[in-house]
Structure formats: C-alpha cells, structure tokens
Structure 1
C-alpha cells in the first residue's frame, strides 16, 4: 500500500528546526561542565552531582511531556504547536544558563541548579514534540530514514559550529561575557529554526483504531515496558549518550592536560564527526539495501577500535586524532538512524498491543538519552573530584591526570562494546514491513465501520 510521505522541502525544514534543538544540546553537553568548573568557579564534585540530579529529574518530566503530547489536540496537530510555543523560552533559558553572576559559592550553586532545571524543562517541552513529529509526518520506513538523515545533516552542522567555534569565540571575548555572547547567538538561531519548522511541516499519521485515539497513561506505560524493541533502543540511548557525553565533555580536559593545548579541542571536535560527514553521502544509497539496523551495527563495531588506537600512545596527538576518527563511526547511528528507529518501535507497540503512543515512545526513549547525558556529565565531575582536579590550574595531580585518561579512553572503550551488543539485539527492521501492512489493513477496516 502507498504511504504518504513528505517532500524534500518539508524534510529540509524539519531538519533545519533540529539545528536549533541540537545547538542547545551540544552547547550544554560539551561546555557546561567546563564553564561551571573553570569559568564560574563551581567545584567539580558539585557539578557532577548537579548533572546527574538535573538529568534524572529531566527524564521524569519526559514521561509527563510525552503523555501531554499524546493528549494535545489543535488544528495544527499534537506535536507541531509545541515546537512553535517553546522556541523563545528555550532561547531565553539558554542565555540565563551561561550567565552565572558573581555570588557566593552557595549562591552560584543555587543559581546553577535553578537555571539548569529551567532549561531542561523547556528543552523537554520542545524536544519531545519535535522527535514525536518525525513519527507523525510519515509511516514510510525509507521516508523516516531520510527525515532522520536530514536531521543528521543539521545535527552535524550545529555540532560542528558549536564544538569548533564556541570556545574560540568565548575566549576571544573573554571571561563570563564571552560565554553569554555565545549563548545569545545560539538563542537567536533556536528561535528562528523552531518557527521555520512549525510553519513548514505537516502531521499525517493517525492511529489505526480511530475510536481508540485516547490512551490512558497506565495503559500506555504498560504497553511501553512490554515493548522489547523499545526497551533495547532506550537502553542503547543510555549507553550511546553516556559515550557521547564523555567524548565531547571530557575532550576539553584531555586536550588541555594530556595533549598540552586547549586549542586542540576544536580539531578533535571536527575529526570526531568526520565519519558522519562522509556517511551523509553514502548512507542514503546503502539504506535500501542493508537497512538502518545493519548499517548501525556495522559502524558501531568499527567504533570500538578507536579507543584501542588511542591506547598505543595516549599523549600522541596524531594517534589520538586517528582514534577519534575511528570512534566517530560509533556516533553515526545517533545522528543518522536513532530517531527513526525509536519511532519504528511505536508501530511495533501498536501492532503488538493495540495502542499507539508516539509521545510516550519518544519521551521515554528521550529519558534514556537524558540519563545517559547526565551520567556522562556526572562521571566527568565525580572522577575529576576523585582525582583532586583544580579548575584553571596549570598542572594537575597524577591521579587527576589518570582520571582524565579514564574519561577519554577506558570508559569509552567499554561503552562502545555495550553499544554494539545492544544494536545486535535490535532486530525490528526485518519484521517492520509486515507490521506496517497489518496496521494499514486494520486502518482500512476501521474506516469502513
């Protein structure tokens, strides 16, 4: 059966909207820990705890937001309106986050907790609907994959802009003001991107059983935790985003104290995403032949060897850059396939249990992402504290240096292996065509009644 899917212009607009969402995610995930410890003067241990506590709280709110999206009914749909409503609040909260005032130690901690929790609440209120929107624009598997690739292009672009330019721009301006300016520029981009995405996209997908569009929260959660493929992909999110947080968030410390030059971080950030840039040109041609899961599994296996290359000589810049490129293959599924795979589990849940909950599927998977990002940030703060790290110091203790090595090499190696095992367990792709055909048959029967 024919499944309606968006055109390239609509896909482009959707992808551009993701540009703004990822700007915040990358800015916070890559630089907030460093900003707190080395610019705002908050201790690493406090920052580590803040990262985990706030992200766990954020994950709980994800579930509530997913349920709210499933219950939203407007003439613009149930996900698109949130993209428009939350653009400006997200921009404002981003500026506040990177504007810690000169207060006492306790005052800075209170400000950090308040503004960080505010940001993640607003971020949840735009990111969950945005991810849900992908599943509502089409049920066509190739259409979803292409949508994910469009988002991947803009994810790549926004990530490269932040990782390569944020630190040099902030340093050129100097001090706290430099980071406030970077946050302000990001805020403007967020607002523009969210309004373009709202104005240029369309929701097309409805439940196969139209009389049962309302799903009680308890029923939705029960079907969710019984959905084996959702459980696998959510655990994958935890592992993959912990790995991503370590590779990005700990990279600045590694460049400064192991490689000896903070300026190397921009180069590290650039080469980390080189495989993904190449992937944009070849993955669309390979999708139809091999499928999302098989491609994701293959590049995940390659990514394991990145840490092994770095282990040859951890202080060698050429070897570190080479290992980083290899590790970059493991990030391809996050950027190019993950959101499409998450939304595919919504079809499996509807087929298996008779209820469709795109909002809950995306919000609960997002919970895994938030937990992973929070755990990665917490590990950075806690291990640095354990090693006796002193923010801004020219020299660190031997134990602190060992902890930076663990964050940059040993933990990523373990996480890369776990990520690969989980992707091997995810085998929904081969069942999806039959699932989609069955759902379309149910929809036709429902329309005749």
Structure 2
C-alpha cells in the first residue's frame, strides 16, 4: 500500500472556525476516511464550502428557468427554443453521467474532474454573454442552446466527481452540514435577486443587465475551480475504471442486484415531483394574479428565504437521519399541493393573491431544499468508496431520463388545468414519502 501524501495540518484559526461551524471537537467523526484526509478535514471543509457556494450562486444567476428564458425573449429568439432550456439544463447534465463515472474511476485523484467541469460551466456562461452582445433572433437562440449543452455536460462531470471527492475528504455527519451551509448562502443571493426584480418591475433592464449577470456567474464558476484546485485529496481506489460504455452498462445492473440502492432510486424518482411542481406554482400565480414582474420578484424572495433559512437545519438533520428528512420534506410538499388545489378549486379569494403564493413557494422551497439535501446525503452515506461514483452515475442517469418524461405533466395542466397538475404531482410526492418510510437508515 502506497504511503499517504504528507499533508500539513491546517492552522489553528481554521481548525477553530471549523469546530465552531460543525461542533466537531475531536477526530471521532473520521472513521470512514483515511487518516491523511482526517488531518486536513478542517481546511478541506472550507475548500468545499467556498467552491460549492460560488458554483451554487452561479447557478442562481444563470438560471435556465428565469434568466436564460428572459434573455432569449429579449433577443427575439423563437419561443419554441425556450422550451428546450430546462430539459437540456437538467437531463443534459444527468444522462451522460453513467458513462462519465467510468472515466472518473480510472483516476486515483479525482478533484481535477470537478475543476475542469467548473471551468467548462464558467466558459459556457460567459460565452452566452458574448452571444447576447453579438447575435439576435434564431441565431442567438441556437447559440445559447448549444452553449447550454456544453454547460450541462460540464455540470454532469461535476456532479459525479463532487460526491466522490466529498466522500473521500469529508467524514460522515459533516457532509450534510457542509452542503447545508453552501445552499443557505446561495439562497441568500437568490433573495437579493428577487429584491432586485421587485424594485425593477417597472423598468426595462436591457441586454446589458443580463450580460453583467452572466459574466458574474461565469466568474464565480472560475473562482470555484481555482479554490477547488487547492483541495488536499489522497489517492483512492481505481477499480471499475474500464471501458466507459461497457462499465456504464454494467453499472445499470445495480438496479437489479442491489436492493437498497434500487429502493433509493425509486424513492428519489417519486420525490423529484417537487422540482417539477415548482413551475406550476409560478404559472398558477400568474394565472390567478396580474402577472407583473413585481409578483415574480416576490416569489423569488420567498424561495430565497426558504433556502437561506432551512438549508442549515436540513443539513444537520440529514447528518442524523437523511431518511427522516426525505419523509418530512416530502410530506410538506405533498400536503401543501393538496391544500392549494382545494383552495383554488373552491375559489377562496385570499388564496390566490401574490402573498398567498409567496407563502406556498416559501413552503415548497423549504420542502425542496430538504429533499435535495436529504437524498444527496443519503446517497453519499449509503455508498462506499468503491460504489459511490457508480451509485451517483446510475441514479442521476435514470432520473435524467425520467425528467424528460416529466414533461407529460404539462399535458395534465393543459387538459385539466394547472391546479390539477399540482394535485397529481402532490399525490406522487406522497407516494415518495411512503417509499422513504421503508428506506433503511444509513447514518
């Protein structure tokens, strides 16, 4: 067995700040990572925190559902192209992971996959800003779609590498806390964006506003890459790093042979309906209200507050029982949907105001943050160093495929109304809660 690299222990101020944020006072939480990683865990904790926070803020500033959609409309791109934004953004980053994981497993040090994935996202977003300055109409729309594909593929590399490196460098009972803090800070930025939109409701922001937003977002991804390059990662196992396609297809057999993993993927698939439901709440708010931008700003403020306030709680709760987090957050989202459907169907006046929908989005934001943190922590903690990359790739690939099918819920909204789509999605979410109840505890 090769000797571990001579990592230097972090300075005392770094250790003290780490202990303050995590409550970690000794090495007892380092049972599942090597000694070399344990010694530098406080420093690595902040590398993860800064890089993940920067990338999450970049995600908010270049949101496909909000910023890119508005930008394409402002550039006069065909409306049909805007319909590809969210599917490409989500599925494009998930579907290739099954095959990317095999390449990542060939490397004993995997942080560089995250670094270059972050660079790819930053460059793609900055080039979108260039498109905004130089192209209009269909040409601009197709250019943004192409760059979003590059962005999504880079994001897919990041997703596989991040969970694998997180499992190697941060011990159990600290991973959820770390992701919670990063999500909270990103949520605070989302709140600021919502405030900006609210106060700019009567003004035309112009192309320059979007260009600046995208350049800042791209810069944050480049900053994240620079910070993550400083991570101290000990070499790890390289088993399973054969031919990408054959290894990827072989990994799919986990759904047949690994019952706990199969159960987790089914649970995640049922609970992904919270992400699909969020746009329908926004559409319903537009239908029931005046549809002005100030109302949208209020909704963004609500989601920003939800992430900022709830993520640290969900993170710490996930370190105790990510299974219970999935149950509680899923129940919140499912029951809320039933309530909103009933209120709207009955025509309750106060239930259709901007402020009522702000409350709905606030609760949905809390629930969605819990599901995201809970399922990420559950996956990392249920896996071993040898299975973590394969688990991540298989689950993300299957969820990516299902997200494309999730567009069928739009047909429900078209045929039976937006409130009916929320009802159906909520019932599926509650089925996910029942599935989560039967999951095994992994913490």
With the length of structure 1 as denominator, give the TM-score of the two structures.
Answer: 0.73
Matched, 1:12 2:50: no
- Give me the whole-angstrom Cα distance separating, in 1, the residues matched to 2:137 and 2:383: 48
Partner of 2:359: 322
Higher relative contact order (CA 8 A, sep 6+): 1
Aligned twin of 2:180 = 149
**2:61 matches 1:48:** no
Aligned partner of 1:34 in structure 2 is 69
Residue number in structure 2 paired with 1:443:
none
Calculate the aligned-residue CA RMSD, in Å: 3.8
Flag structure 1 segments of 5+ consecutive residues without an equivalent: 351-355, 388-398, 433-449
User: Runs ≥4 in structure 1, deviation > 6 angstroms?
Assistant: 166-171
Indicate the residue corresponding to 1:22 in structure 2: 56
The equivalent of 1:131 in structure 2 is 163
1:181 aligned residue? 212
Q: Which residue of structure 1 aligns with residue 427 of structure 2?
A: 414
Shift of 1:293: 0.8
**Equivalent residue of 1:337, what SS?**
helix
Any idea what the Cα deviations from partners look like across 1:99-120, whole Å, max 9, x if unmatched?
4565454x45533432221221
1:292 and 2:329 matched: no
2:251 & 2:404 partners in 1: Cα distance?
A: 26
What are the within-5 Å matches in structure 2 for residues 30-429 of structure 1?
A: 30-31=65-66, 34-35=69-70, 38-49=73-84, 51-52=86-87, 55-73=90-108, 77-78=109-110, 80-97=111-128, 99-100=131-132, 102-105=135-138, 107-138=139-170, 140-162=171-193, 164-165=195-196, 174-199=205-230, 201-204=231-234, 206-207=236-237, 212=239, 214=241, 217=247, 219-223=250-254, 225-247=256-278, 249-250=279-280, 253-260=283-290, 261-272=292-303, 274-280=305-311, 282-283=313-314, 286=317, 291-311=321-341, 312=343, 313=348, 314-347=351-384, 356-368=386-398, 370-371=400-401, 378=407, 403-405=417-419, 409-429=422-442
Matched with 1:444 is: none
- Hey, what's the Cα distance between the residues in 2 that align with 1:373 and 1:25? 19
Displacement of 1:62: 1.5
Distance 2:438 2:76 in 1: 44
Where 2:229 maps in the other structure, the secondary structure is: helix
Query: How many angstroms apart in 2 are the aligned matches of 1:97 and 1:294?
Result: 41
Instruction: Give, in whole Å, the separation in 1 of the partners of 2:71 and 2:271.
Output: 24
Report the CA distance between 1:137 and its aligned residue: 1.5
In the alignment of these two chains, the number of paired residues is 394
SS at match of 2:340: helix
Structure 1 position 406, deviation (Å):
5.1
Contact 1:240–1:372 (Cα < 8 Å) also in 2:
no
**Distance in 1 (alpha carbons) for counterparts of 2:197 and 2:107:** 37
Q: Which residue of 1 aligns with 2:25?
A: none
TM norm structure 2: 0.73
1:346/1:358 contact within 8 Å kept? yes
